[in-house]
Amino acid sequence: MKYVADDHQLAQVHLQAAVAQAALGEFEQATARLDAVLALRGFDLLSMARVTAAFIDSLTLVTGNEWATGKLASKAQEQTKSLDERVPPARAHTLRLMSAWSSKDPASFEALFTAAAGDVAASQHVRDLFVYALEWTEDKAANSVNPQSPVKAVCSALTEHGPSHWPWKRPKAEPDGTGLGGGR
């Protein structure tokens, strides 16, 4: 049986494994898996970003402008320092992405992500969204959340927001009847 997974299939599996590893406290190994996700380009990478944002959103109650200000919406006006002054540029971009996502503003989310993905100098901005998801996973798991819960959450995000339109090819049986499709 010969089967070679497509890049998007590998990326999905690596994201699930990265979340599992982060939930178990293996953060360095988890972040190493992100390279397979970040190797995707264009629409495939944007789809994985949507999945990641939905996953983060499922782990927290923070919504809308709270991501960018760090305060409840009623207290956000008291903020004196801008987001860019408070956090590194990559994290500021991630917080803006999460603000757009949780505000149910997909056009802004896509525009912010696509702009960063198209800029070689902003590659860390793109990576930070995925790293941020692993940080949330590790934090939630450290606070006695069952490590299976984040894995289930990322699988749900993949199903709801991810690559359902991407084909999953199965290996074909060899002419001699061997292989997965051979029925033996």
The reported pLDDT for the residue numbered 3 is 60
- Find the DSSP H helices in the chain: 7-23, 27-32, 34-38, 42-59, 66-69, 83-86, 89-102, 106-117, 123-142, 148-161
Q: What's at 157, amino acid-wise?
A: A
Q: If you average pLDDT over residues 47-68, what whole number do you get?
A: 89
CA nearest to 11, candidates 166, 123, 173, 182: 166
Q: pLDDT at residue 121 above 60? A: yes
Confidence band, pLDDT 50/70/90 cuts, at residue 141? confident
Cα separation, 95 vs 38, in Å, equals 19
Q: pLDDT at residue 115 above 70? A: yes
Q: pLDDT at residue 46 above 80? A: yes
Confidence band, pLDDT 50/70/90 cuts, at residue 100? very high
The reported pLDDT for the residue numbered 134 is 96
The reported pLDDT for the residue numbered 14 is 92
Query: Which pLDDT tens digit goes with each residue over 159-183?
Result: 888 765 556 665 555 555 554 444 4
137 vs 121, more confident: 137
Query: Which pLDDT tens digit goes with each residue over 68-85?
Result: 776 655 554 555 677 778
- pTM score over 0.75: yes
Q: Quick check: helix, strand or coil at residue 32? A: helix
The reported pLDDT for the residue numbered 79 is 53
